[in-house]
Structure 1
Amino acid sequence: MLYIFYKDKLNLRQNKPFIDFFSKSQDGIRIVSKLDQIKVNYSEVNYIFVGTMEFFEVFLKYFFRRNVKIIYRSRGVAPEESFYRNKSWFRYIILSLIELFVITLSKHIIVVSNNHKNHYLKKYKIKEQKVSVIHNYLTKDSYNLKTSNSDKMEIVYVGGLSKWQRIDDIKELFKKLNQINKDISFLICTNKSNIEAAKDVFNEVGNINFESYEDYDELIKRISKCTAGVILRDSNTVNECSSPFKVIDYVSAQLPIIMTDNIGDYTKTLNNKNFTFYLGDTFLDEKKLVKLEDFIKKCYENKNEIKQEMSKYSCKELNAEQEIGQVMSILRRL
């Protein structure tokens, strides 16, 4: 039996590849948010996937029990994320010590990118075979062709308004594009609670709309009608170790991507593809903007040909079932 234990708000998108995989296998799976929901049968092997905060409860109850294997499922580099937000060395050291404790006492570790794995190997000097990678994923529906008959060039940003998402740079990029080509329109898709704040942030950008979608399929259906999606990231450990769902959203919608470097393993995975445009550090440079405008025009003119190409695009880093299958083979040998 496999338990996925998270006390905070369960993220179904993060758990879906596990559910999909085990629904086809003979192994059972339960997603729980409370420790007492875990009902261990000691006559069979039980795997309990936990985050950092859940680890200690599970450790105290099950660490010395037979047939219980505690698997640390890390969703990011928490000490570095804290330092990026707060610039506190004290917090960074404390969180690093907690993370080291969890990593050392877990039976196995699952991370979201190869960069994330290499970060742990270097920082904590652990053995490579103790760490496996399961990237964020494409669903099977992602490969269904999503044709578009949209008659406008529309650039979309999907996500929140946090500083680390470089929202001010996205605003400046939209302003520049708006100045050089009035035919380009813009769309912000964010949580309903962020809509008013988003309107304030982008109040100097013309030809822009703001929308919110609670249903994921509806979001993908809407943005698939756009011309391209945007994702910007700074150069730091947090972003280099990440596996952003935003990239998955855009690829699932068969939407060309305007992106910077430093986006986890996807920087390498999506390199030199016809449907990606790398901005670089000087993305507000006039020459770069001219090239970007040309890319947007080509994406609009050839939108369904590009969607056809993206519907056939696949790679190991986007195949969760393949990666989960490999991980479970490792776990069964522990």
Structure 2
Amino acid sequence: MILFIADYPTVDNIRDGMYQRIAAIDSLAKSENRVYLDISFRKNKKREVSISDNCTVEHLNYFIHNKIIRDYLNKASIIYVHSVYNMLKMFPITSYGKVILDIHGIVPEEMMYLGKKFRAFVFNKIEKKAILGCYKLIHVTSSMKAFYETKYSLNLDSRSIILPIFERTEISHNKNKWDSDIFEFIYAGGMQAWQNIDLMIKASEGIHTKNIKLNFFFPQNLISNFKIKCGSCLDGKNILIDSLPKDDVISVMSRCHLGFVLRDDIAVNKVACPTKLIEYLECGVVPIVKSPDIGDFNKLGYSFIKVEELTRPLNINELREKVENNYKVLAHFQSLTEQSKSSLMKIFKKSNCTS
């Protein structure tokens, strides 16, 4: 039995990047017997269980249902933990010999970035034990693996799998957009500090080219916040602010030329693999960046424009050339991803054969 330490992805949470990753990994284990433990320190005071085919989902409280959790940990052939956040929920009640940690992001550094120093201290302790002891480590980028090798003075080659975000959407490329006399921009995501929403608004206000359309998509509960932030800055511009299902956002994205992904030049972003950036490349959207060093894409040679370049005229042919290059980069990226997916699937299958 494969034990996943995470909540199971549902229609209610799948728009969150964390659950998109969980769903993607789950797709590699569909044929295996597996259990998901949604463990909470405060909630889930009443045990809830749901079973579908060969997948069981348990909603448990860390303190009330501790024996049940420990029994699962002991019975599992492989324990797959999504994020260092969830390592805390099984800490310190199991050894790391059969644990696969999907790191997702560098949590202590994220906490420091947000000014949460005590949490950063706690997760540093948990992370160190995990990096030193886990059976396998799943990194979303090679930059993340290099980061941990430097941080802990280790060679992680034998225990690491580089497996980026790999959810693939069947996209019909909109070739008509290259004949349009309107440049369409897009942003789809949240309003967290690292998204640099204020900079995006300022950059949108200062775009040199006049014939543009701006498409901004947020979760429904954030739309009013974004409009307040905008104030009157974008008055008079052709602008759409909305909340749409993912498939509809992808449809709009495929007709856009440029997309905002304004990450700062910090470690948290250098090791990341934003789903949004991959979707841009898939849809033929040129990323607008603050720093180009996002994950492995700069090393792979992707094309982008810097945010300050928006104050100059846009050239449709130059954008199209960048998109064509990005298709090649994406194909190489996906080839590497397929190899890593195959490696992880073999581990899943082997673990159930020996359990």
- Once the two structures are aligned, what percentage of the paired residues are identical? 20
**Matched residue SS, 1:86:** coil
Deviation at 1:124, TM superposition (A): 1.6
Deviations 1:119-173 (A, max 9, x none): 111112333122222111241524x434446663211112222222121211121
Distance 1:237 1:52 in 2: 16
* Other-structure match for 1:127: 155
* Other-structure match for 2:217: 189
CA contact (8 A) 1:70 1:106 kept: yes
Distance 1:16 1:299 in 2: 36
**Structure 2: gaps spanning 5 or more residues:** 41-56, 59-68
> Residue 278 in 1 paired to residue 309 in 2?
no
* Other-structure match for 2:2: 2
CA contact (8 A) 1:171 1:202 kept: yes
What is the aligned counterpart of 2:314 among 290, 294, 298? 294
Distance 1:238 1:84 in 2: 8
Deviation at 1:118, TM superposition (A): 0.8
* Other-structure match for 2:259: 229
CA contact (8 A) 1:145 1:311 kept: no
* Other-structure match for 2:125: 97
**Structure 1: gaps spanning 5 or more residues:** none
> Residue 116 in 1 paired to residue 147 in 2?
no
* Other-structure match for 1:48: 80
* Other-structure match for 1:256: 286
> Residue 79 in 1 paired to residue 108 in 2?
yes
Distance 1:110 1:32 in 2: 19
**Matched residue SS, 1:72:** strand
Deviation at 1:16, TM superposition (A): 3.0
* Other-structure match for 1:243: 273
* Other-structure match for 2:47: none
Which amino acid letter does the alignment assign opposite residue 20 of structure 2? R
Which amino acid letter does the alignment assign opposite residue 261 of structure 1? P
Deviation at 1:91, TM superposition (A): 4.3
Which amino acid letter does the alignment assign opposite residue 162 of structure 1? Q
> Residue 211 in 1 paired to residue 207 in 2?
no
CA, structure 1 residues 32+93, in 2 after alignment: closer, same or farther (shift >3 Å)?
A: closer
CA contact (8 A) 1:21 1:321 kept: no
Deviation at 1:104, TM superposition (A): 2.5
CA, structure 1 residues 146+42, in 2 after alignment: closer, same or farther (shift >3 Å)?
A: farther
CA contact (8 A) 2:39 2:89 kept: no
Distance 2:336 2:146 in 1: 20
CA contact (8 A) 2:85 2:107 kept: no
CA, structure 1 residues 312+294, in 2 after alignment: closer, same or farther (shift >3 Å)?
A: same
Higher mean C-alpha deviation, range 200-209 or range 324-333? 324-333
CA, structure 1 residues 314+198, in 2 after alignment: closer, same or farther (shift >3 Å)?
A: same
Instruction: Give 4+ residue runs of structure 1 displaced > 6 Å after superposition.
Output: 41-44
> Residue 326 in 1 paired to residue 340 in 2?
no
* Other-structure match for 1:269: 300
**Matched residue SS, 1:294:** coil
Distance 1:124 1:309 in 2: 34
Which amino acid letter does the alignment assign opposite residue 16 of structure 1? A
Deviations 1:182-204 (A, max 9, x none): 21121111111110111122230
**Matched residue SS, 1:136:** coil
CA, structure 1 residues 33+240, in 2 after alignment: closer, same or farther (shift >3 Å)?
A: same
* Other-structure match for 2:198: 168
Deviations 1:279-314 (A, max 9, x none): 1xxx43xxx3465x324x3378x69x9589849941
